[in-house]
Amino acid sequence: MEAIPAPNADVSGRIDVAPVRASVAPNVGEAELARAEHLRTLVSEYFPSVWRFLRRLGFDELVIEDATQDLFLVAARRIEEVTPGRERAFLFGAALRIARKLKRKEARELPVDTLGTTSEAMRTSATPETLLDDERARHLLYQLLAELDERHRVVFVMYELEELTMHEIAEVLEIPMGTVASRLRHARDDFRARLERYRMRMRREEGT
């Protein structure tokens, strides 16, 4: 399975909480303690899914480390806005805004050096989920995701891999659910077509 940085003893996932704690004075009241506990819960429960989301949008691990730090600092500043039941929508929305800023700032290439060797997952009836179970196939998944239209890729990753609901995705992206369904359909068709072309190329190469 995909390796994700393990939570640390303080909060989770290599998140430096010193800037957060600095906002909580020694003589804190119950409200401030509740805010700090809410933040710890958010990081503990949602750090892995946010990390995966950014990785599957194509960012490398060093970039994700900084991005998740920024994300949870945003959450710390706006913790009162994170209402029960809307945690994923808030965090994925913030992660998407950070991702878009990063995309505008850098031109990045996905690792494709290990794609020359096929695996059983690649040659047979691979799905996004099964591709995640094999390291080489995971690189293929990242390549295929990178080739999708960005609007379609975001919806595809949220729904197929992070298992957000249509309603949550519509809320995060601030678009109608019909638009979510349309983008997901296009993303699925495009993903399947690209995967099938890759399989055909691999079969031709193996037959020569």
Q: Is pLDDT of 207 > 90?
A: no
Tell me the residue type at 43. Answer: V
Q: Is pLDDT of 12 > 50?
A: no
Residues 6+ apart with CB under 8 A from 24: 32, 33, 35, 36
Q: How far apart are CA 131 and CA 114, in angstroms?
A: 14
Q: What integer pLDDT is reported at residue 129 of this predicted model?
A: 59
- pTM for this predicted structure: 0.68
Model confidence pLDDT, tens digit, residues 108-129: 444 444 444 444 444 455 566 5
For domain 113-208, give the CATH number.
1.10.10.10
Q: Is pLDDT of 203 > 80?
A: yes
Tell me the residue type at 47. Answer: F
**Domain residue spans of the chain:** 1-108, 113-208
The predicted model gives 61-86 an average pLDDT of 89
Q: What integer pLDDT is reported at residue 14 of this predicted model?
A: 43
Calculate what percentage of the chain has a pLDDT beyond 70: 72
Q: Between these two residues, 162 and 12, which has the higher pLDDT value?
A: 162
The DSSP secondary structure of the chain, one letter per residue, reads: ----PPP-SSSSTT---HHHHHTS-TT--HHHHHHHHHHHHHHHHHHHHHHHHHHHTT--HHHHHHHHHHHHHHHHHTGGG--TT-HHHHHHHHHHHHHHHHHHH-------TTTTS--HHHHSS--HHHHTTSHHHHHHHHHHHHHS-HHHHHHHIIIIIS---HHHHHHHHT--HHHHHHHHHHHHHHHHHHHHHHHHHHHHHHH-
> Is the separation of the CB atoms in 56 and 156 below 8 Å?
no
Residues 6+ apart with CB under 8 A from 14: 5, 8, 65, 68, 69
Q: Is pLDDT of 158 > 90?
A: yes
Model confidence pLDDT, tens digit, residues 125-156: 556 655 555 677 778 888 999 999 999 999 99
